[in-house]
Amino acid sequence: MQTYFYSHIVSIEPIKARLDELELSDTEKEELLTLSEENLHYVVMDVVLSELTDEDKKTLFIHLASDKHDDVWALLHDKTDKIEEKIMKAAEEFINTLHKDVHEAKKITKKKK
């Protein structure tokens, strides 16, 4: 798992736990977890980028490319309002959707048996 600037407030672990409930190979679980992590990243970045001006986006990408998480947060706190709450809310909605999808997959799997 990669560490992102938001990793301290958003965790992929609940998704991993739900995937463990499915009868999948380790490779399948890892692929689904990777896809989930990538999609979560897109969700978070969408929230962040929608809050920034074009110039601030350039600065953000410079900090991200340099892996300067403290500078990312300094920029976000300076240029946005309640960004951590917005990130957490969007991530929670995404994770809840995945939980529902896993629940549905479990029901389908049980029906096939």
User: Is 4 within the bounds of a domain?
Assistant: no
Q: What is the pLDDT of residue 112?
A: 67
In this structure, is residue 58 part of a structural domain?
yes
Segment 74-79 mean pLDDT: 98
| Domain membership flag for residue 53 | yes
CA-to-CA distance for 52 and 60, rounded, in angstroms?
A: 9
> Residue 86's CB: how many other CB atoms inside 10 A?
17
Per the domain annotation, does 82 fall within a domain? yes
As for how many domains the chain has, the answer is 1
| DSSP structure class, residue 47 | H
Model-level pTM? 0.88
Mean pLDDT (whole number) for 44-57: 98
What range defines the domain where residue 21 resides? 13-112
Please give the helix or strand (H or E) that residue 66 lies within, else none: none
Q: What's the mean pLDDT when you consider all of the chain?
A: 91
Identify the pLDDT of residue 42. 97
